[in-house]
Structure 1
Amino acid sequence: MAPSTDLTPLGVASLALLAEGPMHPYEMYQLLMARHEDRLVKVRPGTLYHAVGRLEEQALVEAVGTGREGNRPERTTYRITAAGHEALDARLKAMLSTPANEYPVFPHAIAEAHHLPAGMVAGLLEERLAALQADLDFLVHAESEATAKGVERKYWLDLGYQQALRRTEIAWIRGLLADLRSGELPWGDPLPPKPSLEPKEPVGKSS
């Protein structure tokens, strides 16, 4: 298998960082976390070191020296090779042009949600809505920060894409909840209407 098609998400992120300039894996990890790219790829210091080691075995990166800061262990600095640039470009082209079924969890859960009572499904979806809204708020704030710092939009396109996904999912779930409450979506056990927030007439009040 060609290295370009064998690149993991973390491998792509590692090559993309080294395309910016030579650095050691811990520096790469700090930069990924500072940019909140852990939202896009699963990353821990250990897995990043392993990913860089694998890229070195494939001759996509190469060591350019070691250094030590104070009493810390020596750290090896890496740079991307010509083959690494080629592999990164090829992988990015494939990722951008070809949709991939990544088997996300939520569509699977929705497909099987009919096994649970309507009230439970509604409660769980309300929890999901709250989490999605918090996530959307974070993304909007991150975009505002990037804009305020003068970071070019091409470097944070993913923030706009993820916002669009969150807004679409929020709207879809709200529509589903409305259908559950109105009875438009039949369920084994009907979901009672959402309680009215209007104040009730005091008991025993004379007209």
Structure 2
Amino acid sequence: MAELTPLAISVLALLEEKPMHAYEMYQLLITRKNDRIVKVRPGSLYHTVERLAGQEYVRATGTERAGNRPERTTYEITPAGSDALIRRVERGLENYAYEYPTFPVLLSEAHNLKADDAVLRLRSRVDDLDTLLADVDATLGKATEVDVPEVYLIGGLFMRHQLAAERDWLATTIERIESKDLAWQPREKQ
């Protein structure tokens, strides 16, 4: 079987809570702000549910129509789906895997910019990170206020620490570029 994608993991985890239809899954992911940790679009979510059904990790339990809304099929997780979810979480927690984010590639090529341009753009990213951190802090604060157990927040806490570490590293790098501690030599055009 193919490795479960991040979206498939999220779908199976939602169905561990209770049976639901794909639109409800989408709404929960957005409401819980899980779209910050997994790329979710309605079309990709429906495709993922269909793929999981083909793998017999989920099964349809019924179809209903409310008013003039389209029919909605409710799904539940199967025992095989529960096992697949657990196995994927176990492997993912214990084994490091390169995820190939774009930002390190862009940093590796930042020398193609003039130092003042690079600093300007990095400062803009630091501002974006500060905004994201404030939003994550607000979300985590709201969850804490309504007594969401911390164990359900560890993904968000991890994300917050990653954002803060990136912001702090970038702020230090900006200082090093400006103080000339980090020699900036744009590549010569040939």
TM-score (norm: length of structure 1):
0.87
CA apart distance, 1:18? 0.4
Q: Hey, what's the Cα distance between the residues in 2 that align with 1:163 and 1:75? A: 35
Mapped pair 1:128 → 2:160: no
Q: Which amino acid aligns with 1:18?
A: L
CA apart distance, 1:129? 0.3
Q: Which residue of 1 aligns with 2:11?
A: 14
Aligned-pair Cα RMSD in Å: 1.0
Q: Deviations over 1:137-193 (max 9, x none)?
A: 01100110000011111111112111111111111111111111111111237xxxx
Three-state SS of the structure 2 residue aligned to 1:63 is strand
Q: Hey, what's the Cα distance between the residues in 2 that align with 1:135 and 1:63? A: 37
Mapped pair 1:42 → 2:39: yes
The number of residue pairs the alignment matches comes to 186
Q: Hey, what's the Cα distance between the residues in 1 that align with 2:98 and 2:106? A: 16
Q: Which amino acid aligns with 2:106?
A: A
Identity rate of aligned residues, in percent? 44
User: Bigger radius of gyration, 1 or 2?
Assistant: 1
Q: Which residue of 2 aligns with 1:149?
A: 146
Q: Choose from 81, 93, 109 the match for 2:90.
A: 93
Q: Hey, what's the Cα distance between the residues in 1 that align with 2:160 and 2:36? A: 13
Q: Hey, what's the Cα distance between the residues in 1 that align with 2:104 and 2:42? A: 31
CA apart distance, 1:68? 1.0
Q: Hey, what's the Cα distance between the residues in 2 that align with 1:62 and 1:155? A: 26
Q: Which residue of 2 aligns with 1:187?
A: 184
Alignment of 1:154-173 (within 5 A): 154-173=151-170
Mapped pair 1:119 → 2:116: yes
4+ residue segments displaced more than 6 Å: none
Structure 2 gap segments, 5+ residues each: none
Q: Which amino acid aligns with 1:146?
A: A
Q: Hey, what's the Cα distance between the residues in 2 that align with 1:71 and 1:188? A: 63
Alignment of 1:19-30 (within 5 A): 19-30=16-27
Q: Hey, what's the Cα distance between the residues in 1 that align with 2:168 and 2:38? A: 26
Three-state SS of the structure 1 residue aligned to 2:75 is strand
Q: Hey, what's the Cα distance between the residues in 2 that align with 1:51 and 1:110? A: 33
Q: Hey, what's the Cα distance between the residues in 2 that align with 1:79 and 1:185? A: 55
Q: Which residue of 2 aligns with 1:198?
A: none
- Larger displacement relative to structure 2 (98-107 or 53-62): 98-107
Q: Hey, what's the Cα distance between the residues in 2 that align with 1:44 and 1:35? A: 15
Q: Which residue of 2 aligns with 1:197?
A: none
Q: Which residue of 2 aligns with 1:72?
A: 69
Three-state SS of the structure 2 residue aligned to 1:66 is strand
Q: Deviations over 1:4-36 (max 9, x none)?
A: xx2111111000000101001011111111000
Q: Which amino acid aligns with 2:149?
A: E
